[in-house]
Amino acid sequence: MAKVKKAPRPKAQTPKGFRDYFGPEVTERAEMLEAIAGVYHRYGFDALESSAVETVEALGKFLPDVDRPNEGVFAWQDEDESWMALRYDLTAPLARVYAQHRNDLPLPYRRYAMGPVWRNEKPGPGRFRQFYQCDADTVGAASVAADAEICAMLADTLEVVGIPRGDYLVRVNNRKVLNGVLETMGLEDDAQRDAVLRTIDKFDKVGEAGVRELLGKGRLDASGAYIDGVGLSDAQAEPVLNFVLSKKIVLDRIENELGGYKDNTTAEYERLAQVWSVERGPDRQGGLRHTLESGQILLRRTLGFLNELVGASDTGREGVQELREIADLLLAQGYGPDRIVIDPSVVRGLGYYTGPVFEAELTFEIFDEKGRKRQFGSVAGGGRYDDLVKRFTGQAVPATGVSIGVDRLLAALREKGRSGGTVQGPVVVTVMDRDRMADYQAMVAELRNAGIRAEVYLGNPKNFGNQLKYADKRSSPVAVIEGGDEKDRGVLQIKDLVLGAKLAESASLEEWKERPSQYEVARGDLVAKVREILNQWA
Protein backbone atom coordinates (compact mmCIF):
# COMPACT_ATOMS: atom_id res chain seq x y z
CA MET A 1 0.00 0.00 0.00
CA ALA A 2 1.39 3.40 -0.98
CA LYS A 3 1.59 5.95 1.80
CA VAL A 4 -1.17 8.52 1.44
CA LYS A 5 -0.13 12.17 1.44
CA LYS A 6 -0.93 13.65 4.84
CA ALA A 7 -4.16 15.63 4.98
CA PRO A 8 -3.94 18.98 6.81
CA ARG A 9 -4.83 18.79 10.51
CA PRO A 10 -8.57 19.14 11.12
CA LYS A 11 -9.75 21.99 13.33
CA ALA A 12 -10.90 20.86 16.76
CA GLN A 13 -14.22 22.66 16.94
CA THR A 14 -17.95 22.00 16.69
CA PRO A 15 -19.81 23.21 13.61
CA LYS A 16 -21.02 26.75 14.26
CA GLY A 17 -24.14 26.95 16.39
CA PHE A 18 -23.37 23.71 18.25
CA ARG A 19 -21.79 23.26 21.65
CA ASP A 20 -20.68 20.67 24.19
CA TYR A 21 -22.01 20.26 27.73
CA PHE A 22 -19.72 19.29 30.57
CA GLY A 23 -20.15 17.61 33.95
CA PRO A 24 -22.79 19.38 36.04
CA GLU A 25 -24.48 20.84 32.93
CA VAL A 26 -25.17 17.28 31.81
CA THR A 27 -26.10 15.81 35.17
CA GLU A 28 -28.34 18.72 36.21
CA ARG A 29 -30.28 18.43 32.99
CA ALA A 30 -30.54 14.66 33.38
CA GLU A 31 -31.86 15.12 36.93
CA MET A 32 -34.38 17.71 35.76
CA LEU A 33 -35.61 15.48 32.95
CA GLU A 34 -35.95 12.59 35.39
CA ALA A 35 -37.99 14.75 37.78
CA ILE A 36 -40.24 15.93 34.95
CA ALA A 37 -40.67 12.38 33.67
CA GLY A 38 -41.77 11.42 37.18
CA VAL A 39 -44.61 13.95 37.12
CA TYR A 40 -45.64 13.03 33.58
CA HIS A 41 -45.65 9.36 34.55
CA ARG A 42 -47.81 10.04 37.59
CA TYR A 43 -50.30 11.78 35.30
CA GLY A 44 -50.55 8.60 33.22
CA PHE A 45 -48.34 9.63 30.30
CA ASP A 46 -46.11 7.01 28.66
CA ALA A 47 -42.59 7.56 27.37
CA LEU A 48 -41.92 7.70 23.63
CA GLU A 49 -38.55 8.02 21.94
CA SER A 50 -39.00 8.45 18.24
CA SER A 51 -36.06 8.37 15.84
CA ALA A 52 -34.07 11.59 15.53
CA VAL A 53 -34.20 11.27 11.76
CA GLU A 54 -37.48 11.57 9.83
CA THR A 55 -38.43 11.74 6.18
CA VAL A 56 -38.77 15.34 5.10
CA GLU A 57 -42.31 14.59 3.93
CA ALA A 58 -43.34 13.29 7.35
CA LEU A 59 -42.00 16.46 8.94
CA GLY A 60 -44.09 18.50 6.51
CA LYS A 61 -40.97 20.36 5.44
CA PHE A 62 -40.80 19.32 1.79
CA LEU A 63 -41.29 22.20 -0.64
CA PRO A 64 -42.79 20.66 -3.81
CA ASP A 65 -42.32 23.83 -5.86
CA VAL A 66 -38.53 23.75 -5.49
CA ASP A 67 -38.26 19.99 -4.98
CA ARG A 68 -36.13 20.54 -1.87
CA PRO A 69 -36.68 20.64 1.88
CA ASN A 70 -37.32 23.87 3.72
CA GLU A 71 -34.01 25.43 4.65
CA GLY A 72 -34.94 25.47 8.34
CA VAL A 73 -34.17 21.77 8.73
CA PHE A 74 -30.91 19.86 8.43
CA ALA A 75 -31.65 17.55 5.52
CA TRP A 76 -29.81 15.20 3.17
CA GLN A 77 -30.62 12.58 0.57
CA ASP A 78 -30.57 8.86 1.24
CA GLU A 79 -29.09 6.42 -1.30
CA ASP A 80 -32.47 6.12 -3.01
CA GLU A 81 -32.59 9.93 -3.39
CA SER A 82 -35.34 10.36 -0.78
CA TRP A 83 -34.83 13.25 1.63
CA MET A 84 -34.25 12.69 5.34
CA ALA A 85 -33.93 15.35 8.04
CA LEU A 86 -33.25 15.81 11.73
CA ARG A 87 -36.45 16.51 13.67
CA TYR A 88 -36.92 20.22 14.45
CA ASP A 89 -39.42 19.60 17.27
CA LEU A 90 -41.14 16.68 19.04
CA THR A 91 -44.68 17.40 17.82
CA ALA A 92 -44.26 16.61 14.13
CA PRO A 93 -42.72 13.20 15.00
CA LEU A 94 -45.61 12.55 17.42
CA ALA A 95 -48.10 13.10 14.59
CA ARG A 96 -46.14 10.66 12.40
CA VAL A 97 -45.84 8.08 15.21
CA TYR A 98 -49.54 8.32 16.02
CA ALA A 99 -50.56 7.97 12.38
CA GLN A 100 -48.18 5.02 11.92
CA HIS A 101 -49.05 3.07 15.07
CA ARG A 102 -52.60 4.22 15.77
CA ASN A 103 -54.05 0.71 15.63
CA ASP A 104 -51.76 -0.45 18.42
CA LEU A 105 -51.93 2.61 20.64
CA PRO A 106 -54.53 3.26 23.33
CA LEU A 107 -57.04 6.00 22.59
CA PRO A 108 -56.57 8.62 23.95
CA TYR A 109 -52.80 8.28 23.59
CA ARG A 110 -50.88 10.16 26.26
CA ARG A 111 -47.17 10.34 25.69
CA TYR A 112 -44.17 12.31 26.83
CA ALA A 113 -40.92 12.75 24.94
CA MET A 114 -37.65 14.41 25.84
CA GLY A 115 -34.59 14.90 23.72
CA PRO A 116 -32.63 17.13 21.40
CA VAL A 117 -34.13 18.82 18.35
CA TRP A 118 -32.21 20.56 15.58
CA ARG A 119 -32.88 23.83 13.73
CA ASN A 120 -30.98 24.95 10.67
CA GLU A 121 -31.15 28.59 11.69
CA LYS A 122 -28.65 31.38 12.09
CA PRO A 123 -27.05 30.84 15.49
CA GLY A 124 -26.77 33.80 17.85
CA PRO A 125 -25.69 34.45 21.43
CA GLY A 126 -27.45 31.83 23.53
CA ARG A 127 -29.24 30.49 20.43
CA PHE A 128 -28.02 27.07 19.40
CA ARG A 129 -28.88 24.83 16.51
CA GLN A 130 -29.34 21.82 18.82
CA PHE A 131 -31.34 22.09 22.03
CA TYR A 132 -33.56 20.03 24.32
CA GLN A 133 -37.32 19.87 24.32
CA CYS A 134 -39.51 18.11 26.82
CA ASP A 135 -43.09 17.56 25.67
CA ALA A 136 -46.27 15.92 26.90
CA ASP A 137 -49.31 15.54 24.65
CA THR A 138 -52.69 13.87 24.73
CA VAL A 139 -53.84 12.70 21.31
CA GLY A 140 -57.47 11.75 20.71
CA ALA A 141 -59.17 13.66 23.53
CA ALA A 142 -61.50 16.44 22.41
CA SER A 143 -62.54 17.44 25.92
CA VAL A 144 -61.08 20.58 27.49
CA ALA A 145 -60.51 18.36 30.53
CA ALA A 146 -57.39 17.28 28.62
CA ASP A 147 -56.24 20.90 28.32
CA ALA A 148 -56.99 21.62 31.97
CA GLU A 149 -54.99 18.58 32.99
CA ILE A 150 -51.95 19.69 30.98
CA CYS A 151 -52.08 23.04 32.80
CA ALA A 152 -52.25 21.33 36.19
CA MET A 153 -49.38 19.05 35.23
CA LEU A 154 -47.34 22.04 34.11
CA ALA A 155 -47.83 23.72 37.50
CA ASP A 156 -46.86 20.50 39.32
CA THR A 157 -43.81 20.10 37.11
CA LEU A 158 -42.51 23.58 37.83
CA GLU A 159 -42.83 23.00 41.55
CA VAL A 160 -41.15 19.59 41.38
CA VAL A 161 -38.08 20.98 39.59
CA GLY A 162 -37.72 23.72 42.18
CA ILE A 163 -39.81 26.76 41.21
CA PRO A 164 -41.90 27.49 44.31
CA ARG A 165 -45.56 28.44 44.16
CA GLY A 166 -45.73 32.20 43.76
CA ASP A 167 -42.74 32.31 41.43
CA TYR A 168 -44.66 31.09 38.40
CA LEU A 169 -48.01 31.55 36.74
CA VAL A 170 -49.70 29.43 34.06
CA ARG A 171 -51.79 31.70 31.84
CA VAL A 172 -54.53 30.37 29.57
CA ASN A 173 -56.23 31.89 26.53
CA ASN A 174 -58.32 30.46 23.67
CA ARG A 175 -57.95 30.86 19.94
CA LYS A 176 -61.70 30.26 19.49
CA VAL A 177 -62.48 33.52 21.26
CA LEU A 178 -60.32 35.36 18.76
CA ASN A 179 -61.99 33.46 15.92
CA GLY A 180 -65.33 34.63 17.32
CA VAL A 181 -64.13 38.22 17.30
CA LEU A 182 -63.02 37.91 13.69
CA GLU A 183 -66.36 36.33 12.80
CA THR A 184 -68.26 39.16 14.47
CA MET A 185 -66.23 41.65 12.46
CA GLY A 186 -67.30 39.86 9.30
CA LEU A 187 -63.66 39.36 8.30
CA GLU A 188 -64.03 36.46 5.94
CA ASP A 189 -61.02 36.78 3.68
CA ASP A 190 -58.68 33.93 4.66
CA ALA A 191 -55.53 35.82 3.78
CA GLN A 192 -56.62 38.80 5.87
CA ARG A 193 -57.50 36.57 8.83
CA ASP A 194 -54.08 34.93 8.63
CA ALA A 195 -52.49 38.36 8.48
CA VAL A 196 -54.40 39.44 11.60
CA LEU A 197 -53.24 36.32 13.45
CA ARG A 198 -49.63 36.92 12.48
CA THR A 199 -49.92 40.52 13.61
CA ILE A 200 -51.32 39.65 17.02
CA ASP A 201 -48.43 37.23 17.54
CA LYS A 202 -46.13 40.27 17.41
CA PHE A 203 -47.87 42.04 20.31
CA ASP A 204 -45.17 41.11 22.83
CA LYS A 205 -42.57 42.65 20.51
CA VAL A 206 -44.23 45.79 19.09
CA GLY A 207 -46.80 46.63 21.80
CA GLU A 208 -50.26 48.15 21.47
CA ALA A 209 -49.30 51.04 19.19
CA GLY A 210 -47.32 48.75 16.91
CA VAL A 211 -50.17 46.27 16.57
CA ARG A 212 -52.57 49.15 15.87
CA GLU A 213 -50.35 50.37 13.02
CA LEU A 214 -49.80 46.88 11.63
CA LEU A 215 -53.53 46.12 11.62
CA GLY A 216 -53.99 49.37 9.66
CA LYS A 217 -51.68 50.81 7.04
CA GLY A 218 -48.36 49.57 8.35
CA ARG A 219 -45.33 50.88 10.22
CA LEU A 220 -41.64 51.60 10.09
CA ASP A 221 -39.83 48.88 11.98
CA ALA A 222 -36.72 49.38 14.09
CA SER A 223 -34.40 48.82 11.12
CA GLY A 224 -36.14 51.60 9.18
CA ALA A 225 -37.93 49.26 6.76
CA TYR A 226 -41.61 49.90 6.14
CA ILE A 227 -43.81 46.91 7.00
CA ASP A 228 -47.12 46.81 5.15
CA GLY A 229 -50.17 46.57 7.37
CA VAL A 230 -53.22 44.30 7.12
CA GLY A 231 -55.27 47.23 5.79
CA LEU A 232 -58.11 47.22 8.31
CA SER A 233 -59.97 50.45 9.00
CA ASP A 234 -59.77 51.85 12.53
CA ALA A 235 -63.29 50.61 13.21
CA GLN A 236 -62.38 47.12 11.99
CA ALA A 237 -59.17 47.01 14.02
CA GLU A 238 -60.94 48.04 17.23
CA PRO A 239 -62.48 44.65 18.20
CA VAL A 240 -59.17 42.87 17.54
CA LEU A 241 -57.35 45.36 19.74
CA ASN A 242 -60.04 45.06 22.38
CA PHE A 243 -59.45 41.30 22.43
CA VAL A 244 -55.71 41.65 22.79
CA LEU A 245 -56.15 44.35 25.42
CA SER A 246 -59.10 42.81 27.20
CA LYS A 247 -57.24 42.29 30.45
CA LYS A 248 -56.25 45.95 30.49
CA ILE A 249 -59.78 47.04 29.64
CA VAL A 250 -61.33 44.89 32.36
CA LEU A 251 -58.91 46.35 34.88
CA ASP A 252 -59.59 49.90 33.65
CA ARG A 253 -63.26 49.27 34.22
CA ILE A 254 -62.62 47.98 37.72
CA GLU A 255 -60.50 51.05 38.42
CA ASN A 256 -63.33 53.28 37.24
CA GLU A 257 -65.87 51.45 39.33
CA LEU A 258 -63.67 51.81 42.39
CA GLY A 259 -63.45 55.56 41.73
CA GLY A 260 -67.24 55.73 41.60
CA TYR A 261 -67.78 54.26 45.05
CA LYS A 262 -68.84 56.87 47.63
CA ASP A 263 -69.02 54.49 50.52
CA ASN A 264 -65.76 52.53 50.55
CA THR A 265 -66.87 49.81 52.89
CA THR A 266 -69.27 47.69 50.81
CA ALA A 267 -68.31 44.08 50.31
CA GLU A 268 -68.25 44.59 46.54
CA TYR A 269 -65.81 47.47 46.88
CA GLU A 270 -63.51 45.39 49.07
CA ARG A 271 -63.48 42.58 46.56
CA LEU A 272 -62.74 44.83 43.60
CA ALA A 273 -60.07 46.65 45.58
CA GLN A 274 -58.46 43.29 46.20
CA VAL A 275 -58.35 42.55 42.48
CA TRP A 276 -56.91 45.98 41.80
CA SER A 277 -54.17 45.71 44.39
CA VAL A 278 -52.95 42.38 43.00
CA GLU A 279 -52.93 43.59 39.42
CA ARG A 280 -52.06 47.27 39.73
CA GLY A 281 -51.30 47.99 43.36
CA PRO A 282 -47.83 49.08 44.44
CA ASP A 283 -47.14 45.63 45.93
CA ARG A 284 -47.72 43.54 42.82
CA GLN A 285 -43.99 43.40 42.06
CA GLY A 286 -43.58 41.72 45.42
CA GLY A 287 -45.38 38.67 44.12
CA LEU A 288 -48.81 39.44 45.56
CA ARG A 289 -51.16 36.73 44.22
CA HIS A 290 -54.86 36.43 43.69
CA THR A 291 -56.84 34.76 46.41
CA LEU A 292 -59.58 32.40 45.42
CA GLU A 293 -62.05 35.26 45.76
CA SER A 294 -60.21 37.96 43.83
CA GLY A 295 -59.32 35.43 41.17
CA GLN A 296 -62.95 34.44 40.75
CA ILE A 297 -64.03 38.08 40.40
CA LEU A 298 -61.41 38.83 37.78
CA LEU A 299 -62.33 35.62 35.97
CA ARG A 300 -66.03 36.51 35.94
CA ARG A 301 -65.35 40.00 34.68
CA THR A 302 -62.93 38.77 32.02
CA LEU A 303 -65.28 36.10 30.70
CA GLY A 304 -68.12 38.65 30.71
CA PHE A 305 -66.06 41.08 28.64
CA LEU A 306 -65.04 38.35 26.18
CA ASN A 307 -68.70 37.43 25.77
CA GLU A 308 -69.40 41.06 24.87
CA LEU A 309 -66.61 40.92 22.29
CA VAL A 310 -67.69 37.74 20.53
CA GLY A 311 -71.31 38.87 20.39
CA ALA A 312 -73.46 36.27 18.68
CA SER A 313 -70.62 34.17 17.28
CA ASP A 314 -71.11 30.50 18.21
CA THR A 315 -67.40 29.80 17.94
CA GLY A 316 -66.63 32.75 20.17
CA ARG A 317 -69.17 31.75 22.81
CA GLU A 318 -67.84 28.20 22.73
CA GLY A 319 -64.35 29.57 23.30
CA VAL A 320 -65.46 31.60 26.32
CA GLN A 321 -67.33 28.60 27.69
CA GLU A 322 -64.22 26.44 27.30
CA LEU A 323 -62.17 28.92 29.30
CA ARG A 324 -64.81 28.85 32.03
CA GLU A 325 -64.75 25.04 32.10
CA ILE A 326 -60.98 24.93 32.26
CA ALA A 327 -61.00 27.31 35.23
CA ASP A 328 -63.70 25.24 36.97
CA LEU A 329 -61.94 21.93 36.37
CA LEU A 330 -58.68 23.32 37.68
CA LEU A 331 -60.32 24.77 40.74
CA ALA A 332 -61.91 21.39 41.51
CA GLN A 333 -58.40 19.92 41.57
CA GLY A 334 -57.12 22.66 43.82
CA TYR A 335 -55.39 24.80 41.19
CA GLY A 336 -56.57 28.31 42.03
CA PRO A 337 -55.76 31.70 40.50
CA ASP A 338 -52.53 31.89 42.49
CA ARG A 339 -51.16 29.31 40.05
CA ILE A 340 -53.29 29.20 36.90
CA VAL A 341 -55.27 32.12 35.45
CA ILE A 342 -57.42 32.82 32.41
CA ASP A 343 -55.66 35.67 30.65
CA PRO A 344 -56.62 36.97 27.18
CA SER A 345 -53.33 38.84 26.91
CA VAL A 346 -51.57 35.55 26.07
CA VAL A 347 -51.14 35.98 22.34
CA ARG A 348 -48.12 33.80 21.56
CA GLY A 349 -49.13 30.80 19.48
CA LEU A 350 -52.69 31.97 18.80
CA GLY A 351 -51.89 31.70 15.09
CA TYR A 352 -50.70 28.09 15.45
CA TYR A 353 -53.09 26.51 17.94
CA THR A 354 -56.78 25.84 17.30
CA GLY A 355 -58.29 26.04 20.81
CA PRO A 356 -56.92 26.71 24.29
CA VAL A 357 -53.34 28.01 24.48
CA PHE A 358 -51.23 28.12 27.63
CA GLU A 359 -47.99 29.61 28.72
CA ALA A 360 -45.96 29.21 31.91
CA GLU A 361 -44.16 32.30 33.04
CA LEU A 362 -41.66 32.73 35.83
CA THR A 363 -42.66 35.88 37.62
CA PHE A 364 -39.58 36.63 39.70
CA GLU A 365 -37.29 39.39 38.59
CA ILE A 366 -33.80 39.07 37.28
CA PHE A 367 -31.31 41.60 35.93
CA ASP A 368 -30.81 41.50 32.18
CA GLU A 369 -27.47 42.00 30.39
CA LYS A 370 -27.89 45.76 30.69
CA GLY A 371 -28.48 45.58 34.44
CA ARG A 372 -32.19 46.39 34.15
CA LYS A 373 -34.76 44.51 36.20
CA ARG A 374 -37.11 42.36 34.22
CA GLN A 375 -39.29 39.32 34.76
CA PHE A 376 -37.68 36.04 33.75
CA GLY A 377 -40.57 35.27 31.41
CA SER A 378 -41.81 32.21 29.58
CA VAL A 379 -40.39 28.72 30.15
CA ALA A 380 -43.13 26.56 28.62
CA GLY A 381 -46.02 26.84 26.24
CA GLY A 382 -48.61 24.73 24.55
CA GLY A 383 -52.15 24.40 23.42
CA ARG A 384 -54.63 22.47 21.35
CA TYR A 385 -53.89 21.61 17.73
CA ASP A 386 -56.46 19.47 16.04
CA ASP A 387 -55.07 19.16 12.51
CA LEU A 388 -51.62 17.62 12.75
CA VAL A 389 -52.46 13.96 12.26
CA LYS A 390 -54.89 14.78 9.44
CA ARG A 391 -51.94 15.37 7.11
CA PHE A 392 -51.26 11.65 7.21
CA THR A 393 -54.65 10.02 7.56
CA GLY A 394 -57.18 12.52 6.27
CA GLN A 395 -58.98 12.31 9.61
CA ALA A 396 -58.77 15.17 12.09
CA VAL A 397 -57.58 13.94 15.50
CA PRO A 398 -57.90 16.27 18.49
CA ALA A 399 -54.66 16.81 20.37
CA THR A 400 -53.30 19.07 23.07
CA GLY A 401 -49.92 19.35 24.65
CA VAL A 402 -47.14 21.32 26.24
CA SER A 403 -43.46 21.83 25.57
CA ILE A 404 -41.06 22.80 28.33
CA GLY A 405 -37.89 24.70 27.48
CA VAL A 406 -35.57 22.68 29.67
CA ASP A 407 -32.49 24.79 29.06
CA ARG A 408 -34.35 28.02 29.94
CA LEU A 409 -35.73 26.39 33.06
CA LEU A 410 -32.23 25.34 34.09
CA ALA A 411 -31.04 28.88 33.49
CA ALA A 412 -33.87 30.16 35.71
CA LEU A 413 -32.88 27.83 38.55
CA ARG A 414 -29.29 28.97 38.22
CA GLU A 415 -30.44 32.63 38.38
CA LYS A 416 -32.24 31.88 41.61
CA GLY A 417 -29.23 30.06 43.01
CA ARG A 418 -31.33 26.94 43.36
CA SER A 419 -29.01 24.89 41.28
CA GLY A 420 -25.43 24.41 42.36
CA GLY A 421 -23.69 24.14 39.03
CA THR A 422 -20.98 22.02 40.63
CA VAL A 423 -20.68 18.32 41.24
CA GLN A 424 -18.59 17.09 44.12
CA GLY A 425 -15.30 15.82 42.80
CA PRO A 426 -13.86 12.43 43.69
CA VAL A 427 -11.62 11.66 46.63
CA VAL A 428 -8.14 11.51 45.07
CA VAL A 429 -5.70 8.89 46.28
CA THR A 430 -2.27 10.27 45.41
CA VAL A 431 0.58 8.18 44.07
CA MET A 432 3.74 8.57 46.15
CA ASP A 433 5.42 5.41 44.94
CA ARG A 434 4.73 4.37 41.37
CA ASP A 435 5.47 0.72 42.16
CA ARG A 436 2.73 0.53 44.76
CA MET A 437 -0.11 1.34 42.38
CA ALA A 438 -1.84 -1.89 43.47
CA ASP A 439 -1.94 -0.60 47.07
CA TYR A 440 -3.49 2.69 45.97
CA GLN A 441 -6.02 0.94 43.75
CA ALA A 442 -7.01 -1.22 46.70
CA MET A 443 -7.70 1.92 48.76
CA VAL A 444 -9.83 3.34 46.00
CA ALA A 445 -11.75 0.08 45.70
CA GLU A 446 -12.49 0.22 49.44
CA LEU A 447 -13.80 3.76 49.15
CA ARG A 448 -15.94 2.97 46.08
CA ASN A 449 -17.36 -0.14 47.69
CA ALA A 450 -18.45 2.12 50.54
CA GLY A 451 -20.28 4.26 47.97
CA ILE A 452 -17.72 7.06 47.99
CA ARG A 453 -16.67 8.66 44.70
CA ALA A 454 -12.92 8.06 44.47
CA GLU A 455 -10.01 7.60 42.11
CA VAL A 456 -6.27 7.08 41.99
CA TYR A 457 -4.26 9.84 40.33
CA LEU A 458 -3.48 8.31 36.94
CA GLY A 459 -1.27 11.01 35.45
CA ASN A 460 2.50 11.11 35.75
CA PRO A 461 3.04 10.91 39.53
CA LYS A 462 6.54 12.40 39.50
CA ASN A 463 5.49 15.89 40.57
CA PHE A 464 3.38 15.74 43.73
CA GLY A 465 2.26 19.36 43.28
CA ASN A 466 0.59 18.37 40.01
CA GLN A 467 -1.41 15.76 41.87
CA LEU A 468 -2.76 18.36 44.30
CA LYS A 469 -3.44 20.76 41.43
CA TYR A 470 -5.39 17.99 39.74
CA ALA A 471 -7.41 17.40 42.92
CA ASP A 472 -8.14 21.11 43.01
CA LYS A 473 -9.29 21.18 39.36
CA ARG A 474 -11.57 18.22 40.07
CA SER A 475 -13.03 19.98 43.16
CA SER A 476 -11.94 17.00 45.22
CA PRO A 477 -13.02 17.19 48.85
CA VAL A 478 -10.29 14.89 50.17
CA ALA A 479 -6.81 13.72 49.18
CA VAL A 480 -5.24 10.55 50.58
CA ILE A 481 -1.46 10.24 50.88
CA GLU A 482 0.59 7.15 51.69
CA GLY A 483 4.33 7.53 51.23
CA GLY A 484 6.94 4.93 52.18
CA ASP A 485 7.14 6.24 55.73
CA GLU A 486 3.38 6.04 56.23
CA LYS A 487 3.35 2.56 54.69
CA ASP A 488 5.98 1.40 57.20
CA ARG A 489 4.03 2.82 60.10
CA GLY A 490 0.66 1.51 58.83
CA VAL A 491 -0.88 4.98 58.60
CA LEU A 492 -2.27 7.39 56.01
CA GLN A 493 -2.34 11.17 55.70
CA ILE A 494 -5.84 12.43 54.90
CA LYS A 495 -6.18 16.04 53.73
CA ASP A 496 -9.49 17.86 54.09
CA LEU A 497 -9.25 19.97 50.93
CA VAL A 498 -12.45 21.92 51.55
CA LEU A 499 -11.29 23.07 54.96
CA GLY A 500 -7.82 23.61 53.56
CA ALA A 501 -9.21 25.96 50.91
CA LYS A 502 -11.31 27.83 53.48
CA LEU A 503 -8.34 28.28 55.79
CA ALA A 504 -6.09 29.37 52.95
CA GLU A 505 -8.65 32.03 52.07
CA SER A 506 -9.24 33.63 55.40
CA ALA A 507 -7.70 32.01 58.45
CA SER A 508 -5.42 33.74 60.89
CA LEU A 509 -2.20 32.03 61.95
CA GLU A 510 -3.86 30.89 65.15
CA GLU A 511 -6.80 29.34 63.36
CA TRP A 512 -4.33 27.55 61.12
CA LYS A 513 -2.72 26.00 64.11
CA GLU A 514 -5.95 25.21 65.88
CA ARG A 515 -7.73 23.64 62.95
CA PRO A 516 -5.40 21.34 61.11
CA SER A 517 -6.80 20.25 57.76
CA GLN A 518 -4.62 17.15 57.57
CA TYR A 519 -5.05 14.05 59.69
CA GLU A 520 -2.93 10.99 60.27
CA VAL A 521 -5.07 7.88 60.69
CA ALA A 522 -4.47 4.16 60.81
CA ARG A 523 -4.68 2.46 57.40
CA GLY A 524 -7.76 0.59 58.58
CA ASP A 525 -9.62 3.83 59.30
CA LEU A 526 -9.47 5.11 55.71
CA VAL A 527 -13.17 4.79 54.91
CA ALA A 528 -14.35 5.98 58.33
CA LYS A 529 -12.21 9.12 58.32
CA VAL A 530 -13.03 10.06 54.72
CA ARG A 531 -16.71 9.60 55.43
CA GLU A 532 -16.45 11.76 58.54
CA ILE A 533 -14.93 14.59 56.51
CA LEU A 534 -17.47 14.25 53.69
CA ASN A 535 -20.41 14.27 56.10
CA GLN A 536 -19.09 17.44 57.64
CA TRP A 537 -19.33 19.26 54.28
CA ALA A 538 -22.50 17.59 53.02
Enumerate residues 315-344 that contact its own copies by CB under 8 A. Answer: 328-329, 331-334
Choice between 168 and 457, CB closer to its own copies:
457
Q: Taking the mean position of all CA atoms in its chain, how far away is CA 319?
A: 27
- Least distance to its own copies from the beta carbon of 267, Å? 27
- Least distance to its own copies from the beta carbon of 362, Å? 23
Residue 518 CA neighbour count, 13 Å, CB half: 9
* Interface pick for its own copies out of 455, 478, 479, 496 (rule CB under 8 A): 455
Give Dmax over CA atoms of the chain in angstroms.
101
- Least distance to its own copies from the beta carbon of 130, Å? 6
Choice between 165 and 374, CB closer to its own copies:
165
Provide the pairing of β-strand 454-456 with 478-481: unpaired
Helix (H) or strand (E) holding 381: strand 373-384
Say whether residue 135 binds its own copies (CB under 8 A): no
| CA distances for 88 relative to 74, 104, 283, 398, angstroms | 9, 26, 42, 22
φ/ψ of 214, rounded to 5, equals: -70, -30
* Interface pick for its own copies out of 285, 375, 393, 422 (rule CB under 8 A): 393
Distance CA 97, CA 90 (A): 11
Residues 141-180 binding its own copies (CB under 8 A) are: 141-143, 145-146, 148-149, 152, 156
- Rama region for 185: left / alpha / beta (φ>0; ψ in -120 to 50; rest): alpha
Residues 459-478 binding its own copies (CB under 8 A) are: 459-460, 470, 473-474
Binding mask 397-436 for its own copies (x = CB under 8 A): --------------------------x-xx-x--------
Residues 21-60 binding its own copies (CB under 8 A) are: 21-23, 25-27, 30, 34, 37, 41-44, 46-55, 57-58, 60
Q: Taking the mean position of all CA atoms in its chain, how far away is CA 244?
A: 25
- Least distance to its own copies from the beta carbon of 152, Å? 7
Residues 70-99 binding its own copies (CB under 8 A) are: 74-76, 78, 82, 84, 86, 96-97, 99
Say whether residue 394 binds its own copies (CB under 8 A): yes
Stretch near its own copies under the rule CB under 8 A, chosen from 236-244, 362-370, 372-380, 453-461: 453-461
Closest to 400 in 3D by CA, of 341, 357, 346, 349: 357
Say whether residue 190 binds its own copies (CB under 8 A): yes
Say whether residue 296 binds its own copies (CB under 8 A): no
Distance CA 26, CA 13 (A): 19
Distance CA 260, CA 266 (A): 12
For residue 427, the cross-strand partners are 454
Say whether residue 100 binds its own copies (CB under 8 A): yes
Coil, strand or helix at 118: strand
- Count of residues touching its own copies (by CB under 8 A): 109
